[in-house]
Amino acid sequence: QVQLVESGGGLAQPGGSLRLSCTVTGLTLNEYCIAWFREAPEKDREVLSSISRRDDSAYVEEFVKGRFTISRDIAANTVYLQMNNLTPEDTGVYYCATAFPLADWLCPRVIAAYSNWGRGTQVNVSS
């Protein structure tokens, strides 16, 4: 049974940083895509970043590029999302999920392609 558990959320000040973790059990991390999503208040869930089979396949959406970084620890079966220079607009529930890769270096960017969702971790950015 595949399970994903997000952690690391909390309260951060504008300009601050948080590192989210997504610990995966039941599948081999570097055989699937793992992506991070955000659901802000009164907004649709959106994809933020993903990583496919290859170590150099990290992808970050343009609107968070330069502030968010995805990485993984295969031995720990964990994917991370490092978030820097946070703003109040980053407030929301952050989820991770799995998908079959489109290629060793490419993950889907549509939410419908993802399954095995975690329960999310809340991030609040406020002064």
SS3 of 27, please? coil
* Residue 14 pLDDT greater than 90, yes or no: yes
Q: Which two tokens stand for residue 21?
A: 């973790």
SS3 of 111, please? helix
- pLDDT tens-digit series, residues 19-74: 999 999 999 888 999 999 999 999 999 999 999 999 889 999 999 999 999 999 99
Please give the pLDDT value at position 56: 87
Please give the pLDDT value at position 107: 96
Q: What's the rounded mean pLDDT across residues 5-27?
A: 97
> CA dihedral in degrees (38, 71, 98, 92; nearest 10)?
-10
- pLDDT tens-digit series, residues 93-110: 999 999 999 999 999 999
Structure confidence at residue 80 as a pLDDT band (50, 70, 90): very high
Please give the pLDDT value at position 79: 97
